[in-house]
């Protein structure tokens, strides 16, 4: 597998926000989202055993496999190796490729509203949906047409445009949307707010 980085921090987004987590960032993505804030292209080749050995160095039970798009590389055997270490395996995905069935938690962040039909998710399971909110696209329309059953946990995450004035307007619009549509909850990127990795 091509691994961009493995590091230990706090989950900054969504349902498990604030949870100590080992992040396994796999290299590469099949989409080119205009707001992507992750440099995931570079990496080093690692075997599944090497990845598991690195993850085992950290005390957290929670492991987040992310990218790029982790479904391009993630295997059920790597998930099994992480389970053997006693880890709980969460995956953050755009949903455009199938995932191993043995992952413990699936965060689906659909991107088809921004990228087009080629980004329409195909997965049928999600434990949470996390929609990047730009103040323009209707969040509900981004998941209602999907093959997944609507999960209990729906999050709006204000898009970080790099422009503080625009970001403030997006946050305000997200709060207004959530107040009018209370099935949604706000997800902030607390790792950016706290300036942690």
Which positions are annotated as active-site residues? Answer: 23, 29, 33, 36-38, 92, 191
Order the strands of the 44-45 sheet from edge to edge.
Answer: 44-45, 2-10, 20-26, 62-66, 88-93, 105-108, 128-133, 153-158, 184-186
DSSP characters for 56-114? TTS--SEEEEESS-GGGT--HHHHHHHHHTT-EEEEEE-SSS---TT-SEEEE---HHH
Six-digit token pair at 188?
């902030």
Contact in structure between 99 and 66 (CB atoms under 8 Å): no
């Amino acid at each position: 597998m091509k691994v961009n980085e493995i590091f230990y921090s706090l989950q900054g987004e969504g349902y498990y926000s604030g949870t100590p987590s080992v992040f396994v960032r796999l290299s590469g993505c099949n989409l080119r989202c205009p707001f992507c804030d992750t440099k995931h292209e570079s990496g080093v080749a690692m075997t599944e055993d090497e990845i598991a050995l690195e993850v085992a160095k950290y005390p957290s039970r929670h492991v987040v496999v992310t990218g790029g798009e982790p479904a391009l590389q993630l295997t059920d055997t790597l998930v099994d190796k992480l389970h053997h270490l006693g880890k709980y395996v969460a995956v953050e995905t755009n949903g455009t490729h199938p995932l191993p069935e043995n992952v413990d938690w699936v965060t689906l962040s659909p991107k088809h509203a921004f990228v087009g039909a080629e980004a329409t998710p195909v997965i049928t399971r999600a434990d949470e949906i996390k929609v990047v909110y730009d103040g323009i696209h209707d969040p509900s329309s981004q998941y209602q047409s999907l093959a997944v059953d609507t999960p209990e946990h729906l999050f709006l995450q204000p898009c970080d445009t790099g422009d503080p004035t625009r970001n403030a307007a997006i946050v305000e619009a997200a709060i207004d949307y959530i107040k009018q549509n209370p099935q949604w909850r706000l997800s902030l990127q607390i790792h950016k707010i706290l300036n942690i990795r």
